[in-house]
Amino acid sequence: MSSDLAFEPERPLERPEIQIDDPVNIRPDLGAIGIEEVERGICQDTYENRAILRRSKMGWDPVYASNGVPTGLIQARSEEMAKQRRMLSLAEKKPILVEPDYVNSDYLTGLDLLAESATDYLVPPWVTGATRAWLKEQEAGGPSSPRKKPAAMPMRCRAIKDDGIRCMLWSSGRPADDGYCRIHLGSLQRRPGEDVERARAKLTQAAPYAVDVLEDLMENAASEPVRLKASTEILDRAGVRGGVEFDANININDGRPAAQIVAERLERLAAGAIGVAAKLVEAGVVLPKSNNDIIDVEVVEEEE
């Protein structure tokens, strides 16, 4: 049966564009440290590339496409690049700085912060809400109840990072926080076992790359024992394990007759009993006589 419907060939899906917000001039040159770049500062997300970045004291960020899908690429982040990012962010925050030309300046607080038009897009909503609550309480003359804690006025975190620039996050202003934001406050007051949890998280992230190494050894290793070991490790992790030899035979003795083994055990028991009895006599303990004690008698034969 023929059909008049004409089917158009499927068009190849368009590859989504990579979403990179950082300018090219601040990205590090990865070719200088031996990494093949896809773009300036962008490389494949492999274990080898991460190891090179780690040795070069660089961090990395995953790269996503314009539709939010991971691309399998990472963007290197050097210390200089991180500092440039922070400088660009500070340049955007100049309207809410008390001293716009000073990078470690305090943020505007109180009524000055609410009066600034740039607060709507530069300040987190919880900061503006807490500032309004603080102003309302100040106008009322203090807390509504003596047992209620006074409202806190948010301010800029007072922590100084390694590059000499002050943290740009906000502190709640409560006395218990001591002027630190939630990030630095958490680093100062770590929970017990938090380092172990962070180490486990790193191991989980490194697991896919460890599997890649095992696959590479299994296929390309020059030594056959190495290839065999890598193959067995992969099978073991996948839950496919080899058989375990189990011997159900019971070795009763070492080949000697059973009567000889019993006689040796009785001799050991008798020797032990004699030793215990001697110790009791030395201690002055009188042993009770047993009904089974042997009495020496003389046999007298009767004459016919």
Domain extent listing, the chain: 24-82, 93-188, 204-237
pLDDT given for residue 2 in this prediction? 47
pLDDT given for residue 244 in this prediction? 56
Closest CA to 126 of 153, 160, 108: 153
pLDDT given for residue 242 in this prediction? 60
**What Rg value do the Cα atoms of the chain yield, rounded?**
41
Contact between 234 and 214 (Cβ < 8 Å)? yes
pLDDT given for residue 41 in this prediction? 87
Residues of the chain with confidence (pLDDT) below 50: 1-3, 5, 7, 12-13
Provide the whole-model pTM: 0.47
- What lies within 8 Å, CB to CB, of 155 at 6+ separation is 106, 107, 109, 170, 171, 173, 179
Helix (H, G, I), strand (E, B) or coil at 121: helix
pLDDT given for residue 191 in this prediction? 60
pLDDT given for residue 279 in this prediction? 73
Residue 143 DSSP code = -
pLDDT given for residue 154 in this prediction? 93
Contact between 161 and 167 (Cβ < 8 Å)? yes
Q: Determine the angle formed by the axes of helices 194-220 and 224-237, rounding to 10 degrees.
A: 130
pLDDT given for residue 106 in this prediction? 92
Residue 68 DSSP code = S
Could you please report the per-residue DSSP string of 253-266? SSSS-HHHHHHHHH
Element holding 74 (H helix, E strand): strand 70-77
pLDDT given for residue 235 in this prediction? 67
